[in-house]
């Protein structure tokens, strides 16, 4: 790995190195990051930007005694390399390997697991308060990017830190970027500090004074600056100070010595919270990533074949673009993901009608609700996992008032390499229980465009969830079609059982049915299309006829599509029907390739066919030839 990195088994080993050696270590770390992430995928640019910051943090603080809480945790690769995980680093994001985020189960150096943004300050404050209640003495540091700092929770955390005046350090890793450039008034304020040359001049002067002072005096001097509000008079850093923090910075985030000086000042300032403003370059040290930090924010693992079929996200964006051209009241909202959900394509043509609201899913939903009250047609595009943040906004602000907001829910189902924190496993369950909300999932990209169109014409809120993947390559209809709400589609007729599938599971269900047919079992296959409202007429009629209903969904079974179907049949008094459901288990799903995970949970054609036979043993008995099908699996 490199002369210096080889010698680091724990953070304490860093303390033996000189400043020039630390520089070399940083170069070795960058090499390792680049080679592993280019192969395995992951957050390259974010990690390259914090190499020096991570080294300095681990020299100044004493992890795991001191708690370093990384926000999102996507930038913690150097932290992993320095905290005893370097020998497993090549397994990053692989099945059974290191997670791409921080995780309490992975290391004692990860005091808080993450994956979703803006949690670090609240978690760190909890730790600091626990420390004070217990009469302990460790330091607590939250490291948060300027993107994550725009999230509501981060601001709520800052608010309470200032109120309690707890001793903790917030390190702001300010690179001007979220995944795309950071948006919002706070971002503007930060960029003022970063680019104000009066500030650099004052900083140079401070540095000269500080370098000459002994340590004890340095702390005194930092305190004096705050008391006199010197910086506040000149620079827009007053905000942090008014919030109750002692502000230090901006610090050059690629100068280890300067970082250590500021962090040590923060550590030694015992009178309350400190705020260390670190300026970094996203992608630092790898020119392609410095030049295009958006592309290099998150890379997919190397894929063998180039993709020619558009992804569901691309079809969503193309559809939204067409709809925006036809309907001037249509507006689109994204919480900091214009690249991931492809809305940047729509923003290029309609910059005034696409809103990147920052990493603020809750705000995004209520903002949409407000737009809907005035007759606009808001399309809120959010990944399934991040929409969890907005649960009450969906209930209280949108559905209770029956406002026609469109939810375009990307990455529903298994997402793969990002793992536990990012699987879109719960949305059908948490949406289908909400009154007034229509919940749909297309079987392919053609159905996606029709459902989106239908949602924009709906008088009620409507959610359309689709998977993280390329489409199926089906032909796209030229004209949009209104899909009748709550109407399913029968794809195949058979008398032995009905397989009722939703969304991404429809095609594997059809394949499984063909395979079962070869073994003499004839299944009806229904594309449910809607998880709510269900096509009760069709489901009751089919269930009464075939007596065996097998539901398939890429969502947790608890409260999911299958349980809605079972509930419907139970309520309707159709008693003599066996209902069996497959879906995701009551667990958090690890990282790994999507196909491998689907296969593990039996959510592919083979798994569906196998489970039909296992869960309906009567079918095997009735059809002897089915035994050979089971044997084939």
Ligand X SMILES: Cc1ncc(C[n+]2csc(CCOP(=O)(O)OP(=O)(O)O)c2C)c(N)n1
Question: Which residues does the annotation mark as catalytic?
Answer: 282, 361, 389
Residue 590 per-residue DSSP state: P
Among residues 502, 434, 509, 432, the alpha carbon closest in space to that of 467 is found at 502
Tell me the CA distances in angstroms from 280 to 20, 31, 33, 53, 283, one per residue in order. 20, 18, 17, 9, 9
Q: Which is nearer to ligand X, 42 or 461 (CB)?
A: 42
Residue 622 token pair: 């009735």
Q: Which is nearer to ligand X, 467 or 607 (CB)?
A: 467
- How far, in Å, CA of 179 to CA of 373, rounded? 30
Residues between 14 and 53 with contacts to ligand X, criterion CB under 6 A: 46, 49
Please give the order of strands across the beta sheet that includes 578-584. Answer: 489-492, 523-527, 497-501, 548-556, 578-584
- Which of 60, 170, 336, 577 is in the footprint of ligand X by CB under 6 A? 336
Q: Which is nearer to ligand X, 111 or 147 (CB)?
A: 147
Q: Is 72 in the site for ligand X (CB under 6 A)?
A: yes
Residues between 356 and 375 with contacts to ligand X, criterion CB under 6 A: 359, 361
Find out whether 584 and 554 touch, Cβ atoms under 8 Å: yes
Residues between 232 and 251 with contacts to ligand X, criterion CB under 6 A: none
From residue 371 to residue 400, the character string flagging contacts with ligand X as x (rule: CB under 6 A) and all else as - is ---------------x--x-----------
Q: Which is nearer to ligand X, 146 or 604 (CB)?
A: 146
- How far, in Å, CA of 485 to CA of 499, rounded? 21
Contacts of residue 210, defined as CB under 8 A and 6 or more positions apart, other chains included, come to 218, 221, 261
# residues near ligand X by CB under 6 A: 23
Residues between 112 and 171 with contacts to ligand X, criterion CB under 6 A: 116-117, 145-148
Q: Which is nearer to ligand X, 410 or 496 (CB)?
A: 410
Contacts of residue 428, defined as CB under 8 A and 6 or more positions apart, other chains included, come to 412, 439, 441, 465, 502, 531, 553, 555, 560, 561
- Which of 59, 67, 74, 450 is in the footprint of ligand X by CB under 6 A? 74
CB of 34 to ligand X, least distance (A): 16
CB of 479 to ligand X, least distance (A): 35
Q: Which is nearer to ligand X, 187 or 483 (CB)?
A: 187
Q: Which is nearer to ligand X, 278 or 629 (CB)?
A: 278
Q: Is 178 in the site for ligand X (CB under 6 A)?
A: yes
From residue 487 to residue 526, the character string flagging contacts with ligand X as x (rule: CB under 6 A) and all else as - is ----------------------------------------
Phi, psi for 436 (deg, rounded to 5): 75, -15
Among residues 314, 563, 587, 301, the alpha carbon closest in space to that of 425 is found at 587
- Which of 40, 54, 63, 75 is in the footprint of ligand X by CB under 6 A? 75
- The SS3 call for residue 565 is helix
- How far, in Å, CA of 613 to CA of 151, rounded? 48
Residue 573 token pair: 């008094």
Q: Is 101 in the site for ligand X (CB under 6 A)?
A: no
Q: Closest residue to ligand X, Cβ-based?
A: 145
Residue 369 exposure: Cα atoms within 13 Å on the Cβ side: 19
- Which of 85, 93, 282, 591 is in the footprint of ligand X by CB under 6 A? 282
Q: Is 175 in the site for ligand X (CB under 6 A)?
A: yes
Contacts of residue 600, defined as CB under 8 A and 6 or more positions apart, other chains included, come to 592
Contact positions toward ligand X, by CB under 6 A?
46, 49, 72, 74-75, 116-117, 145-148, 173, 175, 177-179, 282, 297, 336, 359, 361, 386, 389
């Amino acid at each position: 790995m490199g002369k210096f990195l080889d010698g680091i088994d724990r953070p304490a080993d860093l303390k033996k190195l000189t400043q020039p050696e630390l520089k070399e270590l940083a170069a070795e770390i960058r090499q390792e990051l680049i080679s592993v992430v280019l192969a395995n995928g992951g957050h390259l640019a974010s990690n390259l930007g914090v190499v020096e910051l991570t080294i300095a943090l681990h020299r100044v603080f004493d992890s795991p005694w001191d708690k370093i809480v990384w926000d999102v945790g996507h930038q913690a690769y150097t932290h992993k390399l320095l905290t005893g995980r370097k020998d497993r680093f090549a397994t990053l994001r692989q099945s059974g390997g290191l997670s791409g985020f921080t995780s309490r189960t992975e290391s004692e150096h990860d005091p808080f697991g993450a994956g979703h943004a803006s949690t670090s300050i609240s978690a760190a404050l909890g730790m600091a308060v626990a420390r004070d209640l217990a009469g302990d003495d460790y330091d607590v540091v939250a490291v948060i990017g300027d993107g994550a700092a725009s999230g509501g929770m981060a601001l709520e955390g800052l608010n309470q830190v200032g109120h309690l005046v707890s001793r903790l350090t917030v390190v702001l890793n300010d690179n001007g970027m979220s995944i795309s450039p950071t948006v919002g008034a706070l971002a503007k304020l930060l960029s003022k500090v970063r680019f104000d040359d009066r500030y650099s001049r004052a900083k140079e002067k401070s540095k000269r004074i500080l370098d000459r002072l002994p340590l004890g005096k340095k702390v005194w001097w930092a305190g004096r600056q705050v008391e006199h509000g010197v910086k506040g008079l000149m620079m827009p850093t007053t905000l942090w100070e008014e919030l109750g923090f002692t502000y230090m910075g901006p610090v050059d985030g690629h100068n280890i010595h300067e970082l250590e000086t500021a962090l040590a000042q923060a550590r030694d300032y015992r009178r309350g919270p400190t705020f260390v403003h670190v300026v970094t370059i996203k992608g630092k040290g790898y020119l392609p990533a410095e030049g295009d930090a958006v592309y290099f924010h998150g890379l997919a693992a190397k894929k063998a074949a180039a993709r020619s079929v558009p992804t569901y996200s691309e079809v969503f964006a193309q559809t939204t673009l067409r709809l925006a051209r036809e309907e001037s009241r249509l507006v689109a909202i994204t919480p900091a993901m214009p690249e991931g959900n492809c809305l940047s394509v729509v923003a290029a043509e309609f910059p005034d009608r696409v809103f990147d609201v920052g990493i603020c899913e809750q705000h995004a939903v209520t903002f949409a609700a407000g737009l809907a009250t005035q007759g606009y047609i808001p399309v809120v595009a959010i990944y399934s996992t991040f929409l969890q943040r907005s649960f009450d906004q969906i209930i209280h602000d949108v559905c209770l008032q029956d406002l026609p907001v469109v939810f375009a829910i990307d990455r529903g189902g298994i997402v793969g390499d990002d793992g536990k924190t990012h699987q879109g496993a719960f949305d059908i369950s948490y949406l289908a229980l909400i009154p007034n909300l229509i919940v749909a999932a297309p079987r392919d990209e053609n159905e996606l465009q029709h459902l989106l169109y239908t949602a924009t014409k709906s008088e009620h809120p409507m959610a359309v969830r689709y998977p993280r993947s390329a489409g199926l390559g089906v032909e796209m209809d030229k004209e949009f079609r209104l899909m009748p709400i709550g109407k399913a589609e029968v794809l195949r007729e058979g008398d032995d059982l009905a397989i009722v599938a939703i969304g991404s599971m429809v095609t594997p269900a059809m394949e499984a049915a063909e395979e079962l047919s070869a073994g003499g079992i004839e299944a009806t296959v229904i594309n449910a299309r809607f998880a709510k409202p269900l096509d009760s007429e069709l489901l009751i009629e089919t269930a009464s006829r075939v007596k065996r209903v097998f539901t398939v969904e890429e969502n947790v079974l608890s409260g999911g599509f299958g349980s809605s179907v079972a509930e419907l049949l139970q309520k309707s008094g159709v008693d003599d029907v066996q209902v069996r459901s497959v879906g995701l288990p009551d667990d958090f799903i690890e990282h790994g390739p999507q196909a491998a995970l689907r296969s593990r949970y039996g959510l592919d054609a083979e798994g569906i066919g196998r489970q039909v036979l296992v869960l309906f043993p009567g079918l095997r008995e009735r059809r002897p030839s089915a035994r050979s099908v089971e044997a084939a699996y």
